[in-house]
Structure formats: structure tokens, C-alpha cells
Amino acid sequence: MKAINSAQHIVVAGLGMTGQACVRFLSAQQVKVSAWDTREHLNVPDSVNVPVTLGEPPAAFWSDVDLLILSPGINPQLPAVQYAAQAGVEIIGDVELFARLNDVPAFGITGSNGKTTVTLLLTHILKENGKAVVEAGNVGTPVLDTLSMSLDAIVLELSSFQLETTSSLKLQAGAILNISDDHLDRHGDMQRYLDAKQRIFQHCDTAIVWRGQAETRPTTPVRDIVLYGLDVAEVGFGFTNNWITFDGKPVVNMQHVQLVGSHNVLNIQAALAMAKVAGVEPAQAADAVYRFTSAPHRCVEIAKHRGIRWIDDSKATNVGATLAAIEGLGPGCTGNLILIAGGDAKGADLSPLSTAFSEHVSFVIALGRDGERLAALSPASACVKTMSEAVALAYEKAAAGDIVLLSPACASLDMFDNYIHRAAVFAEAVKEVTADA
């Protein structure tokens, strides 16, 4: 690990998990560090043993500060952050600090959907092939905690919030898996959102690129590009006869894979492409792919009762994720697909769901702040007030061969603590209606 400048006064903004990890790391480096959180009445964790300022910082707060490390949840456009910039304070995120200190090969994954699946799958493939590796960033270990580990590689899941404060991250391989409307309440418009995502390629050797979406291509020069997609391909990764291929040769039989849906074919291809850059050939990686199980709340079957499959895709917090789930499951469904969706759409355009609803979804059950907007996209729909009502209605309508899919296309915070809480309420409601099994 490279050394940190101990003469700096560093302020950590935000005392969530990321901020606490930053304070812990910097305290161990014996630099002058303090913390600031926008919440005026925060109960400061006992583990934070540095000076803390809550709420609006005083006017002279930034006068002796050299570096401000923003947690991803803090908007750089906040007035206090802008005052810091005007005072000459350098503003970065924890990923940027990591980038300046790290000397281990790193792989970066971003996109609107599929990031966690690809991150965990790539980590799994590399571990199964004898490499010391850890997942970090938006999932797994805080990035700064990896600097003290003895590793062959680090696999980073990177959000747009993390990338917008990152400028010097060196990657052996990077990918923007896909782009759809998300976080527009933070970024303002799609171009700013895409610009944040594109920062992953600024110092990247090899770009892993989906042939199906031009926005995933790097707009800055990279040394090499590996392509993947659902079409037949003689070069790069393709898909034919239910096999993932590489350079035209079959390498992974999707019949033996536990991940379901065409969107997961793309996720697996992206992970295989990155593993190849890390020195694991696709044929070597296949066995690890077969043994991999999905992360929770990402198109996972939680129950099967009376021939009805209940699928938890609560992590689908934007339109693109729900489209991927519908288009991945719909064509293979022998009966009807009943969708439970809704929540806070975060300012996103929901209309792209209309075609998928008409082609694949027999009935939409909508709830939450933007439930009525979703219901309006399908003539076969109903609005309910609670998840229990949604599950009860789905149970009433479903028959053998049908799939009931929770894939909200929206954030959960209007009704639940987070998407995990939403999934737990869904699972409990399913358990109740299927109790006669």
C-alpha cells in the first residue's frame, strides 16, 4: 500500500457504513481527521472517536481542511459541499482515496442493473481457480479495508454515486453492464448519469462491452475491448442453442446454471470476460459458474406451491431491472406472469414497461407512491395498499404453471426500510397464503 499524506486535515462526510470505514482507516494512518454529518440529531456511533460536526457546518469550518471525503449518499451539489470547494478543499470519495493507495490488480463493474451478480460471480470464479480475491465497494468489504489484505485481485462494484467522485482508479478490466433510467433525482438527467458511469473507463486497460447497447461502450481510449451479447458470435462471447460461447465455441451450458433468465446470460458473459482478463479461461471458469447461487432478492425463487412459482426480485429498484426480469422470465413461462410492482420511481420514466407488460405480463398488481402510474400502463391491473394485499390478490389469480414476480421497478423507501425489508414482507405474505400446503 502506498503512503498517505499525514500532514493533511481530512474531513469525512457522512457517518453511515462507508463514512465509518473511512474514519476507521484514516485514524489508523495517524492523520488529522474529523467527521461531518448532515443529520443534526444523529446518534454518533461509539466507534467514531474523532471530532464530529452535525448539521450545517459553521462558516469557517473549511478554512483549515485539505481534503473532504464524501460518502456516496451525500450529494456533491449540497451548499456545504460547494462552500468547501470554494474554499479550495479537494473533494473525493472513498473509492478515489483507495485508488491513490492501491497497488493490487482491480476489476470494476458498474451499470444500472446486474452489478452485484457479476461482482459476486467474478469473485467466485477467481476464488474457485485459486486466486486470493475479495469483492468490495458497493457490496462486500469497504474498499479501504482491502488495502491491508494480501490479495491477487479486488473486484469492485461501483455505483454512479461512487464514480462521480473518482478520477484516478486504475482497472485491469471494467464494464458498464447496461444503462436505464435511475437516480435521476440525484443526477438530474440521463447524460449526467451516463457521464458518471463512463468514468469507470478513465484508466481502464480492457473494456467489457455488451453489444446490445451503445451506451456501454467506452468514450475514452482503452487498450482492448471484449464484446458479449445474446446473438451468435464468432468473436467474443455469444449465445446459441442455450450455450454461452466464446470465439464460437460452447463454454457454459445454461441448463446447468442456477441463475435464470436471459439477463443472467449477459451477467455470466460479463463475468467470464473479466475472469479471462484475470487469467482464467472461459472453459476453466465453467464449473465455478455451475456452482454459483444468486445473491438474495435478485430473481430468486422463494416458494413453489400448487405449481405456482413465487420469485423475489426486490432488488429491481429501477425500470431496467424490472424489464430484464420480465423479458428474462416471460418467454419461458408456461402459464401467466403476474407482476407485483411499485414504490418510489425516483423521477424515472415508467413508460418503457408498457410494451413488456403487453407482451409478457398477464396482470399487474401495483402499490406504493407510483403504483397508479404503473397500473395505468396495463389494462389488466389493480392497485393495492399493502404488500399483503398484493400477495393475496396474486394468489387468488394464479394457477399451476404461473409465475408471481415481485419486481418493483421502484425504490422501497416510501413503504419499507429498504429493498431487503420489502423482500422480507413479501416472503412472509407468501408464507401466509401458501400455509395450506
User: What's the rounded Cα separation, in Å, for the pair 10 and 7?
Assistant: 9
Q: How many C-beta neighbours within 10 Å does residue 357 have?
A: 23
Q: How many C-beta neighbours within 10 Å does residue 26 have?
A: 24
Q: What is the DSSP letter of 351?
A: T
- Catalytic sites, residue numbers: 115, 138, 183
Select from 24, 25, 35 the least CA-distant residue to 102: 25
User: What's the rounded Cα separation, in Å, for the pair 205 and 253?
Assistant: 29
**CA Rg, the chain, in Å?**
23
| Cβ atoms of residues 265 and 244 within 8 Å | yes
313: Cβ contacts below 8 Å, ≥ 6 apart = 297, 298, 299, 300, 321, 322, 325, 405, 406, 407, 408
User: What's the rounded Cα separation, in Å, for the pair 183 and 1?
Assistant: 34
263: Cβ contacts below 8 Å, ≥ 6 apart = 113, 114, 299, 324, 325, 327, 328
User: What's the rounded Cα separation, in Å, for the pair 3 and 24?
Assistant: 16
User: What's the rounded Cα separation, in Å, for the pair 42 and 15?
Assistant: 9
Select from 282, 189, 293 the least CA-distant residue to 237: 282
Supply 424's cell numbers.
Answer: 422480507
Supply 387's cell numbers.
Answer: 404488500
| Three-state DSSP string of 262-311 | HHHHHHHHHHHHHHHHCCCCHHHHHHHHHHCCCCCCCCEEEEEECCEEEE
